[in-house]
Amino acid sequence: MNWSAIDWKALERMRAAFLGGTAGHADYWQSESDLASYDATFAQRIGWKWDYVLAELQRRGWQPAPGALMDWGCGSGIAHRAFLDHFGTTTISELWLLDRSALAMRFSERRAREKYGGLKIAAAPHPVPFPIGWGESGQRLGEGNTLLISHVLTELTPEQVESLADFAASFTSVIWVEPGTYEASLTLIAVRERLRGQFNVVAPCTHQAQCGILALGNESHWCHHFATPPPEVFTDGNWAKFGELAGVDLRSLPLSFLVLDKRPVASMPSGATRVIGRPRLYKAHALVLGCEATGVTEKRLMKRHAPDFFRQLKRNECAPLQAWRCEGGDIVEAKPL
Ligand SMILES: C[S@@+](CC[C@H](N)C(=O)[O-])C[C@H]1O[C@@H](n2cnc3c(N)ncnc32)[C@H](O)[C@@H]1O
């Protein structure tokens, strides 16, 4: 990465807009250099979150539907690049880019052309009418195709989120990745509830029922997970500088996500559990929040019952999908799925 080309002032301005909640008010991309600086920093962290989600999809046996791929609110284009790097371009008939910023669409289009020569790419014509994007009918636009949405929630009004969810309903597959905050998670859960009658839920859930976080008593929980940053983040002084400027803990990459598909999904073995958030670790036991068809509950793991699993939890190496045998509130056996 060419750190000398980073416009730190622009990153500071963007950070203020992201954190101040003003990013949704107006287009903040002022120049190509804004996008390049974002792409090398904020977007890289988002890309590692996408890598985490795509790896989980791979483990679950999910594959893209053959058809077009749309990146909605594409910014510098990290979401579709992560997707295409992971799954390749062979099943993708065309890449559709959409953003309220013409500058962002041009930037991400150029990057994609450089990286995936031969891939057909279409940018939405301007001005973009919200939320349908372009085309006569949202229904025809999405059928057979895959929609990617990444880190847009903080810039949309609740009404816009609902419209975007309804727009997403016209696609065959939807992969939506957001920060791992309480607000973003609860919004994605609302989207899941709005759409689950029209889709199969692929991930992060292990079931198709109502989200267990919504059950009485679970108000303090939210569905979030942690991706792993690459080692250079800890050794490169420029990343340290970025971490300080952005006010982020570089070791921690919390995310919330939702993957929906109209095609049949592989069924999970009974008792399959998705670990949520970070376990609470004590000397001889851990408390782990798990989501399964019967609900979201915190279970206790005594170190002596499953020492290997306890060690994995301590090292942050626990597989997100687990098959647990429980006795009451205790996990007595744990196997990664
Ligand atoms: C934080 S950036 C995320 C960019 C990219 N998806 C990523 O994950 O790095 C949010 C993007 O959403 C775009 N955006 C915000 N409101 C929008 C709207 N109403 N319609 C289309 N794009 C919008 C912004 O221009 C910006 O590029």
**Interval 137-178: pLDDT, tens:** 444 567 889 999 999 999 999 999 998 998 899 899 999 999
pLDDT at 25: 87
Average pLDDT across the chain, whole number: 92
> What are the E-state strand segments in 61-123?
67-72, 92-98, 121-123
Quick one: 281 and 219 in the same domain?
A: no
Quick one: 298 and 232 in the same domain?
A: no
Decide which of 29 and 144 is more confident: 29
Mark which of 261, 288, 303 sits at the end of a domain: 261
Cα 72 to ligand 1 centre (Å): 7
266 lies in some domain = no
Q: How far is it, in rounded angstroms, from Cα 39 to Cα 232?
A: 17
The answer to whether 61 and 76 are in contact (CB under 8 A) is no
- For 282-326, how does the pLDDT look when each residue is reduced to its tens digit (9 = 90+)? 999 999 999 999 999 999 999 999 999 999 999 999 999 999 999
Quick one: 33 and 135 in the same domain?
A: yes
Ligand 1, atom nearest to 101 Cα? 25
267 lies in some domain = no
Taking residue 152's Cβ as centre, other Cβ atoms within 10 Å add up to 21
What is the best residue among 99, 106, 153 to mutate for testing ligand 1's pocket, by most ligand atoms within 8 Å of CB? 99
Cα 277 to ligand 1 centre (Å): 26
Distance of CA 316 to the CA centre of its chain: 19
Quick one: 285 and 246 in the same domain?
A: no
81 lies in some domain = yes
Q: Whose CA is nearest to atom 17 of ligand 1?
A: 100
Q: With left for phi above 0 and alpha for psi between -120 and 50, is residue 63 left, alpha or beta?
A: beta
Residues near ligand 1 with C-beta < 6 Å?
A: 24, 27, 43, 46, 73-76, 78-79, 99-101, 104, 128, 130, 150-152, 155
149 lies in some domain = yes
Cα 190 to ligand 1 centre (Å): 20
Instruction: Inform me whether the pLDDT recorded for 63 exceeds 70.
Output: yes
Cα 75 to ligand 1 centre (Å): 5
Q: Whose CA is nearest to atom 14 of ligand 1?
A: 73
pLDDT at 126: 53
pTM of the model: 0.95
Quick one: 183 and 319 in the same domain?
A: no
* β partners of residue 71: 97, 148
Cα 143 to ligand 1 centre (Å): 23
Ligand 1, atom nearest to 104 Cα? 27
Q: Say which range, 15-29, 109-123, 286-300, 319-333, has the weakest mean pLDDT.
A: 15-29
Mark which of 203, 230, 261 sits at the end of a domain: 261
Q: CATH number, domain at 71?
A: 3.40.50.150
Those residues whose C-beta lies under 8 Å from the C-beta of residue 230, and which sit 6 or more positions away, are: 48
Quick one: 186 and 102 in the same domain?
A: yes
Quick one: 38 and 158 in the same domain?
A: yes
Structure tokens at 137: 């009918």
Structural domain span for residue 306: 272-336
Q: What's the average model confidence in pLDDT over 32-54?
A: 97
How many domains are there within the chain? Answer: 2
What percent of the chain has pLDDT above 90?
A: 83
Mark which of 261, 282, 310 sits at the end of a domain: 261
46 lies in some domain = yes
Ligand 1, atom nearest to 154 Cα? 1
pLDDT at 124: 72
Q: How far is it, in rounded angstroms, from Cα 220 to Cα 13?
A: 33
134 lies in some domain = yes
Quick one: 26 and 171 in the same domain?
A: yes
41 lies in some domain = yes
Instruction: Inform me whether the pLDDT recorded for 237 exceeds 50.
Output: yes
Quick one: 211 and 280 in the same domain?
A: no
Quick one: 184 and 55 in the same domain?
A: yes
Q: Whose CA is nearest to atom 13 of ligand 1?
A: 73
CA angle 45, 51, 57 (to 5 degrees): 145
305 lies in some domain = yes
Pairing mode, if any, of strands 92-98 and 67-72? Answer: parallel
Quick one: 180 and 140 in the same domain?
A: yes
Quick one: 146 and 191 in the same domain?
A: yes
